[in-house]
Chain A
Amino acid sequence: MFLKVQLPWNVVIPAENLDAKGLMLQKAIVIRLMDEFATKKATKDLGYFLAVTTLDKVGEGKVRQNTGDVMFPVVFSGITFKLYRGEILEGVVHKVLKHGVLLRCGPVENIYLSSLKMPDYQHMPGENPLFLNDKSSKIEKDVVVRFIVIGTKWLEADREFQALVSLDGDYLGPIA
Chain B
Amino acid sequence: MAEKGGKGFSLPPKGGKSSIKSSPLKEASIKGKDDSSTKKKGRKVQFDSEAVNFSSKSGGKDSPTTFPKGKGDKGASGGKGSVSKVPQPLELRIEQELPKNAKCLMACEAAEILEGIQDRMTTLSKDPSIKIPVSFDKGLQYAKRGSHYTNTQSVRRSLETLTKYSVMDGEICVIANVCPDNVDEAFALIPSLKAKRSIVSDPLNDVLIDLAMVKK
Contact = CB atoms under 8 A, between A and B. Distances in A.
Interface string B92-128: 1110011101111111011001100100000000010
Contact of B106 (A2, A50, A148, A150): A2
B165 interface: no
A84 B138 contact: no
Nearest to A3: B102
B143 interface: yes
B79 interface: no
B139 A81 contact: yes
B102 A84 contact: no
A35 interface: yes
A7 B145 contact: no
A171 B189 contact: yes
Given A31-B129, A81-B135, A169 B188 contact: yes
Interface stretch (A61-69, A85-93, A132-140): A85-93
Interface in B144-188: 145-146, 170, 173-174, 177-178, 180, 185, 188
B141 interface: yes
A105 B142 contact: yes
B190 interface: yes
A50 B94 contact: no
B134 interface: yes
B91 interface: yes
B134 to A, nearest CB: 7
A3 B104 contact: yes
A37 B133 contact: yes
A5 B146 CA distance: 20
Most buried by B among A34, A150, A172: A34
Given A2-B105, A3-B103, 6 more contacts: A1-B104, A2-B143, A51-B139, A53-B117, A85-B90, A107-B142
9 contacts: A2-B110, A4-B105, A50-B136, A50-B140, A51-B113, A53-B113, A79-B110, A86-B192, A106-B135
Interface of B: 90-94, 97-99, 101-107, 109-110, 113-114, 117, 127, 129-136, 138-143, 145-146, 170, 173-174, 177-178, 180, 185, 188-192
9 closest Cβ contacts across the A-B interface? A106-B142, A107-B135, A2-B110, A86-B92, A50-B139, A38-B131, A2-B105, A170-B188, A48-B135
Interface of A: 1-7, 31, 34-35, 37-39, 41-42, 45-46, 48-51, 53, 79-81, 84-90, 104-107, 146, 148, 150, 166, 169-172
